[in-house]
Amino acid sequence: MSLLEIEDLKVHFPIRRGVVFDRVVGHVYAVDGVSLSVEAGQTYGLVGESGCGKTTLGRAVLRLNDITEGAVRYKDTDLAQLSEEDMRRQRNKLQMVFQDPLGSLNPRQNIESILVEGMEAHKIGADRAERRERAQRTLDAVGLPSNAMSRYPHEFSGGQRQRIGIARALVLEPDLIICDEPVSALDVSIQAQVLNLLEELQEELGLTYLVIAHDLAVVRHISDVIGVMYLGGLVEEATSDELYANPRHPYTKALMSAVPVPDPDVEDNRERILLTGDLPSPANPPAGCRFHTRCPWRQETRCDTERPQLRLVSGGHKVACHFAEDIESGKIQPTTELAAAILPDAQVQTDSPTTPAE
């Protein structure tokens, strides 16, 4: 059963100009037509480059950003349609854990106060004593020392602060936690600990996660399903294993090829695709396929004019590319002008494209 169903979600931020007349001169199409479902008890990993709209999508689910269009169904309720007041009442069920644990914790509040505050707002726990006890139990559960309650955020390490952020979400008994870059501010050695903690808590409490990261390696092991975003849209979605074994969208192929492989033989010979050119501005996204300005397989016929829909190509694997099948079969080769983007042994020549090395 899907706990969360996002349907054709759009979040467009108006760009305003003018001192006297506050005119809207354009929009940032931060999220522009995303549909996805998160199954109860599972983890959906959302990845993509900086600025592609991941945080905006996460915040829109919680209605921290205004929704321009589309539905966000949580159980049977379309959150997009709720009044502010009704949304506030739902909010303990949908929590967010942020990238920067220090920035998201009030430095002047001790940990007890941080944890109890949310419970009070949502009327969780009968009295102060019960809330305190609950806070203490939650701190134990996330592996913080028993004297943590009376201490302040700056007294903790980065990893511990992220545990506080997780505890703050947990005390409210959420069903769904949106983790926005939960470990990218942490040392690599600490990252695994926090990811393991999230997994343990999920198993124990039956939590559902939407985990946002720009780094594919972070979401790989904890995600059941992974969605890849590019410029406000979802370009590929598959189970974690399937996506890693068989990335189908050119953008995903490029992202994957940037992740080093531990086996040196494989590492030396694998296909590497460097993304050339900057990420276009979401205020002025390219027409047609949004990836066409950087895609080595671009075909002028359709790529420049027709935006590909996310569609099933096999099993549960969805890809938003007109030519997914032809790229897979080798019928379409990387095109000449971006040939230099295929490194290092691809032997693609500028005038006669040939097969890149596998």
Ligand X SMILES: Nc1ncnc2c1ncn2[C@@H]1O[C@H](COP(=O)(O)OP(=O)(O)OP(=O)(O)O)[C@@H](O)[C@H]1O
Q: DSSP assignment, residue 165?
A: H
**Contact flag: residue 215 with ligand X (CB under 6 A):** no
Give CA angle at 296 (292, 300), nearest 5°: 50
For residue 158, the surrounding DSSP H or E stretch is helix 158-170
**Contact flag: residue 318 with ligand SF4 (CB under 6 A):** no
Distances (CA, A) of 48 to 51, 66, 74, 142, 236: 8, 22, 24, 28, 11
For CA atoms 63, 239, 319, 272, the dihedral sign is positive
**Contact flag: residue 295 with ligand SF4 (CB under 6 A):** yes
d(CA 214, CA 69): 25
* Pair of tokens at residue 209: 């996660």
* Pair of tokens at residue 44: 């959906």
**Contact flag: residue 257 with ligand X (CB under 6 A):** no
- The binder of ligand SF4 chosen from 48, 213, 291, 334 (CB under 6 A): 291
β partners of residue 238: 226
**Contact flag: residue 54 with ligand X (CB under 6 A):** yes
All residues at 6 or more sequence positions from 344 whose CB lies less than 8 Å from its CB, including other chains? 272
**Contact flag: residue 227 with ligand X (CB under 6 A):** no
Interactions with Mg ion, residue window 54-93 (CB under 5 A)? 55
**Least distance from C-beta 305 to ligand X, angstroms?**
24
CB nearest Mg ion: which residue?
A: 55
**Least distance from C-beta 294 to ligand SF4, angstroms?**
8
Residue 322 interacts, among ligand SF4, Mg ion, ligand X, none and using kind-specific CB cut-offs from 5 to 8 Å, with: ligand SF4
The stretch near ligand SF4 (CB under 6 A) out of 71-79, 93-101, 215-223, 298-306 is 298-306
**Least distance from C-beta 298 to ligand SF4, angstroms?**
4
Measured between its terminal Cα atoms, the distance across the chain in Å is: 38
**Contact flag: residue 50 with ligand X (CB under 6 A):** yes
**Contact flag: residue 230 with ligand SF4 (CB under 6 A):** no
The stretch near ligand SF4 (CB under 6 A) out of 136-144, 257-265, 315-323, 334-342 is 315-323
All residues at 6 or more sequence positions from 272 whose CB lies less than 8 Å from its CB, including other chains? 257, 258, 342, 343, 344, 346
The contact set with ligand SF4 (CB under 6 A) reads 249-250, 289, 291-292, 295, 297-299, 303, 308, 321-323
The contact set with ligand X (CB under 6 A) reads 13, 28, 30, 48, 50-56, 214, 282
